Structure 1
């Protein structure tokens, strides 16, 4: 995601604090959680599948004591906290922030961290009606002020405009109504943002309020829940899916889903931010908006579950086309990256075009396919690919115009640790020729802009192993190899080493 406008990148020689307030806070929280919630469970005990419901202790403890009915809930409450630490080694680069451009990944070694804590609250209002409220906290330090990586950002938790000082906010507040139309009766498990209940296999579900688009669209069992799975943002959703959102990834709007046995159709209409990669949302939701439609088909293949999803999106936003920014600069060199008084990314390159001079109502569109398939018990594979038009700037997500990701997820049942996870994934992203031309002239967008570019596919290999050390606590080791950072073959490759601590209750 993207740092604040005008924030200067850290010098690679700048001394970093090894321990901050937020880091100490999360160590204390972790200790308290282990003492008060987890108890004396031992590593090595055989447990159910990592996604099994009993990983969330609090509600299950109440259920086992006869104080709560997980299959017909009036309310539920879940929580999580996650701490991720990343270290980037130095890497080769022919140039960095050339001619005053500001969006390079710094070539020196750096350390980054995020810490998040989330509380999920659900309440049944009447038959079919539910309300969900999700407050959250984040503390973070990105690599190079979150600049220089196009789609392969090493830590999915990173947000635009975050800080090392903990920030508290409401991430979600929405109302959900379900109408049943018959078919089979299906039990929905109790989960964060899902009350345990029984529904018809043919039903209409409408949600209205504050949420993230990817709470409901482009779901994947093996690549999407990145607090347990891959760490790189390229595996959270399509890297080329510029879904409408504020700087934290959330929006306001409505989503409708129609389920017909093994088929589902979804449609969403949501608000977009006023300026790209910023917090304030535009309340003129029928003037500027993001729309997405998705069709899903679930199936069994030789007795193993799988799904196919096709998603298309269209954003109508006040955004710049790369060709218009280039044309404005070529017609008048005073319309450069340093002279715009409107919203811009603070580039100091006076010889470069800037999207600031090209913003007007424009459309951005893309289409993608999402596949998942269990191949053996405890082993699943996934594939995602999306093509976006590549004409306009990144507004909410990453700088990628076309993307693909694939990989496999294996739980540890084959070596006697059913709640451990091993993942291997590969993802690649590309930019359009117009996007590359704009960057090669020294332009910057929300994430990238080295001052020059030799266009190449930015790709990442992400390998992780997650150890379940206590009943609801996982520790993960992660390695990422990123080639052509910022889609620039003149820079990289980059090696990033990560560690994640994740707990649930």
Structure 2
């Protein structure tokens, strides 16, 4: 292990020397260990629906829960290098077997969730940084972050197992279902079908370039062998998810903000909705995407991501994103275009420093091809009512997070969803939630 580490260090130093770079020094913490645990309990009220399909949200009253526990273990093997390892345990029972919505209600609920705890490796990655200047900023110790100083101008390479959203489409106010909004379409761009296994993690590499207020990052990650399943396809040169993002920090009316532009492109073995419709026309029966998953396809999309502090304790955010929607969902949600906006207020405004509250609205939509497939009775991974009276899915979510005791938060959350799974013949539906979170 020591020999492999020395060789890797030598290769990284050679790369840096050839490009005139220097390691990002200013080390203050050589290792750390952080832990988190999050429990979310949800209750769905009964609602009216004119009909139900195989993948419909149940009209009956339902209860759901999820639990995760994560260890964040970090070390600095050499100057500029950081290695992180995250074992994780998860269990849970989803609403309606995790079907019946575009914006699913619990971002902590994995597709592999079950009532028995499962232990797995969530992340294992190396991050190497090279400083490009003298100016540095101090960073605090945290989960997957070693305390020290970071250059304002630097190049960083991340290689290993991560969640793609650890690196791309970040947002200070709407990104983490463990601390902020819980709905899937608020933890990242709803139409961002990023590469991931059924738990949300994958292997790959990302290169980032920071220059003062600018950031450019690009990455390639492997896809699951079968849509929305655990086993990943290691053939990163044929089946992959690529993304590139440009971000800029700014000051508006003396308040900080950021804007990010994202583009992604997936290439893998995917079904096209039109092919499924054509197959059913020729052979009879209901269209089925499983009948036509026989060739490589391309899926691409774009996203705009905004965050802006209004005053010291209040911030707002917005996302607009679109994907071509010709092919099946491969790793994330059944959303082809989405608009989201909201605000978060920190409790320091009323002398509750650990508290926060937020409100957000989302409007999700589908491509013409996906609408035609569902209207013809087709079933996809998360949705399928047997028919479709198409309307855009509208979501309202609000929460209040109370800092109960040190490093422990108690959150009340409410979601109201109109046209669940884009169907005006169903709903609306209301979901209440309680979230308990602790960090150590």
Shorter-chain TM-score: what band?
Answer: over 0.9
Q: Does 1:263 align with 2:197?
A: no
Who is 1:177 aligned against?
Answer: 128
Unaligned runs of 5+ in 1: 1-69, 334-350
Who is 2:51 aligned against?
Answer: 95
State how far apart, in whole Å, the 1-side matches of 2:236 and 2:253 are.
Answer: 45
State how far apart, in whole Å, the 2-side matches of 1:188 and 1:413 are.
Answer: 22
Give 1:148's match in structure 2, choosing from 100, 105, 125. 100
State how far apart, in whole Å, the 1-side matches of 2:330 and 2:412 are.
Answer: 32
- Runs ≥4 residues deviating over 2 A: none
Deviations 1:399-455 (A, max 9, x none): 000011110000112222121111001011000111011001111111000100011
Who is 2:338 aligned against?
Answer: 403
Say what the alpha-carbon RMSD is for the aligned residues.
1.0
Aligned 8 A contact 1:291 1:314 in 2: yes
State how far apart, in whole Å, the 2-side matches of 1:215 and 1:124 are.
Answer: 19
Give 2:80's match in structure 1, choosing from 116, 128, 134. 128
Aligned 8 A contact 1:171 1:250 in 2: yes
Who is 1:504 aligned against?
Answer: 439
Deviations 1:52-85 (A, max 9, x none): xxxxxxxxxxxxxxxxxx9711001111101000
State how far apart, in whole Å, the 2-side matches of 1:197 and 1:327 are.
Answer: 58
Aligned 8 A contact 2:106 2:177 in 1: no
State how far apart, in whole Å, the 2-side matches of 1:118 and 1:215 are.
Answer: 15
Aligned 8 A contact 1:117 1:138 in 2: yes
1:302 is displaced (CA, Å) by 2.0
Give 1:458's match in structure 2, choosing from 375, 393, 399. 393
Q: Does 1:425 align with 2:360?
A: yes
Give 2:41's match in structure 1, choosing from 62, 85, 110. 85
What TM-score, normalized by structure 1, do the two folds share? 0.81
State how far apart, in whole Å, the 2-side matches of 1:482 and 1:388 are.
Answer: 22
State how far apart, in whole Å, the 2-side matches of 1:148 and 1:93 are.
Answer: 12
Aligned 8 A contact 2:27 2:79 in 1: no
Who is 2:14 aligned against?
Answer: none
What TM-score, normalized by structure 2, do the two folds share? 0.93
Who is 1:302 aligned against?
Answer: 253
1:183 is displaced (CA, Å) by 4.7
State how far apart, in whole Å, the 2-side matches of 1:293 and 1:192 are.
Answer: 25
| SS of equivalent to 1:418 | coil
State how far apart, in whole Å, the 2-side matches of 1:197 and 1:72 are.
Answer: 5
State how far apart, in whole Å, the 2-side matches of 1:110 and 1:181 are.
Answer: 54
| SS of equivalent to 1:419 | coil
Who is 1:107 aligned against?
Answer: 59
Who is 2:288 aligned against?
Answer: 354
Aligned 8 A contact 1:326 1:353 in 2: yes
Who is 1:477 aligned against?
Answer: 412
Who is 1:277 aligned against?
Answer: 228
State how far apart, in whole Å, the 2-side matches of 1:387 and 1:435 are.
Answer: 14
Who is 1:342 aligned against?
Answer: none
Give 1:201's match in structure 2, choosing from 141, 147, 152. 152
1:188 is displaced (CA, Å) by 2.2
Who is 1:253 aligned against?
Answer: 204
Deviations 1:287-334 (A, max 9, x none): 10000000000111122111000000000010011001111111112x
Task: Work out the number of aligned pairs and report it.
Answer: 414
Unaligned runs of 5+ in 2: 1-25
Aligned 8 A contact 2:307 2:317 in 1: yes
Instruction: Say which structure is richer in strand.
Output: 2
1:154 is displaced (CA, Å) by 1.1
Who is 2:172 aligned against?
Answer: 221
Aligned 8 A contact 2:33 2:73 in 1: yes
State how far apart, in whole Å, the 2-side matches of 1:129 and 1:71 are.
Answer: 10
State how far apart, in whole Å, the 2-side matches of 1:392 and 1:382 are.
Answer: 29
Aligned 8 A contact 1:71 1:189 in 2: no
State how far apart, in whole Å, the 1-side matches of 2:179 and 2:130 are.
Answer: 32
Q: Does 1:374 align with 2:348?
A: no
| SS of equivalent to 1:443 | coil
1:280 is displaced (CA, Å) by 0.2
Deviations 1:201-241 (A, max 9, x none): 11110010000100010000000122111111111000110
1:384 is displaced (CA, Å) by 0.6
Who is 2:8 aligned against?
Answer: none
Give 1:391's match in structure 2, choosing from 326, 329, 348. 326
